[in-house]
Amino acid sequence: MRDVTRREVKQTIIDFAKASLSKVNFTIEELKRAFPFHSIFFPEKALLSYKIKRSLIIGIEKTLYPKLAFIIAKENYQSAHRNYQISGKVLSDRVSIMHRIIDELLSGRRNPDYDSEMREVLSVSYGEPIDISFVADLFIGDFKPGPLFLEIKSPKPNFKVCVESKKKMFYFKLLFEDKKPEAYLAFPYNPFVYRKKYNHRFTKQIMDLDREVLMGEEMWNKIGGSGTYEELLEIAEEAKKVI
């Protein structure tokens, strides 16, 4: 990353952390009294985080990670957008096949397979054009070899998120089919540590893990290039010292 990007990433982390911790309306001593045994295992600042852990985790996943991804992406691309509205027309019969595929995945009648799914959808060239519109968590129009779409979500997405993400990814590939599009469900981190150990039921049921899912460092390196994830970890350590 360039120095200006590193500074922006670091300041974004610091600002988010300070704003989140400021929501705790208790002193450290009050929290120690309220959670006497927690203080044995957690440092003082961790007690503040513990008090607001649910809202903190939601904020990190819905706000901080997508913002950091956008900051990193805009360093290398002119057409990088966060929360980007994408609209266009697709053939109704292709949409029907898409829905059938998703229904079969949900019922367990088929296993996820990116190549076969896209062959089925793209094999149809008839039907009335219908309007579709959806929002990309991150869209990079000038990504190479073709435009990039990321759904940046928790690594353990619920059933609804998996289905809606799959639909968006289908729509994106159909809208940009002649431009070598790439679309992924992207996880900023992997709580299972290793890809081969990833074992979240909903994701595995709906997504082709090898072709449609980016995990942890794969996501960050996809956006910023090789080494971005390690550099991001270094910046996070720097930010911790001033929070």
What pLDDT digit, counting tens, does each position of 176-223 carry? 999 999 999 999 999 999 999 999 999 999 999 999 999 999 999 999
Among 15-24, 96-105, 154-163, the minimum mean pLDDT is found in 15-24
CA angle 46, 52, 54 (to 5 degrees): 110
User: Which pLDDT band holds residue 50 (cuts at 50, 70, 90)?
Assistant: confident
Task: Please state, in angstroms and rounded to a whole number, the distance separating the CA atoms of residues 243 and 237.
Answer: 10
User: Which pLDDT band holds residue 43 (cuts at 50, 70, 90)?
Assistant: confident
- Beta strand extents in the chain (DSSP E only): 80-91, 129-140, 148-152, 182-187, 213-215
Q: Check if the beta carbon of residue 200 is closer than 8 Å to that of residue 115.
A: no
Average pLDDT in the chain: 94
User: Which pLDDT band holds residue 175 (cuts at 50, 70, 90)?
Assistant: very high
**How confident is the model at residue 27, as a pLDDT?**
86
Asked if omega into 129 is within 30° of 0 (cis), the reply is: no
**How confident is the model at residue 121, as a pLDDT?**
96
Q: Check if the beta carbon of residue 107 is closer than 8 Å to that of residue 163.
A: no
- Predicted TM-score (pTM) of this structure: 0.91
Asked if omega into 181 is within 30° of 0 (cis), the reply is: no
